[in-house]
Amino acid sequence: MTDLRKLLLAGLIIGFLEGCEKPAETTEQDISVIPGKELFCMTENEDTARQIAEQYEIEFVSFKYGVAIFHTDKDPKAVIDYGIGNDLPALSLNTDVNRKD
């Protein structure tokens, strides 16, 4: 793994960990998922990302720098809950907090 990739991955991980320490005060209407790219997770490689998509029965969109992006026509929160209930790799909402509808 190149130094740039390691640095980017470390930045992503730190960002995720900081967000986990103290959740932001948001309401349901503040959360806007990115259409066509509603879910994501960190994973080792594209093959693993495609396996995760199959397990969840969602569409694999892309994989880059350790981050897999997925699309679903279902309620993204319901997909996440399904994974939790079935001990699948964790997915997260892919949100754009700056997006204005």
- The pLDDT tens digits along the chain (101 residues) read 567 777 677 666 766 555 444 444 544 545 677 788 889 999 999 999 999 999 999 999 999 999 999 999 999 999 999 999 999 999 999 887 665 55
Predicted local distance difference test score (pLDDT) of residue 97: 65
Q: Tokens 């960190």 belong to which residue? A: 42
Are the CB atoms for 92 and 80 separated by under 8 Å? yes
Predicted local distance difference test score (pLDDT) of residue 33: 77
- Kindly report the pTM of this predicted structure: 0.65
Q: Which residues pair with 5 in a beta bridge?
A: none
Predicted local distance difference test score (pLDDT) of residue 63: 96
| Domain extents in the chain | 29-93
User: Which of 2.60.120, 3.30.70, 3.40.50, 3.55.50 would CATH assign to domain 29-93?
Assistant: 3.30.70
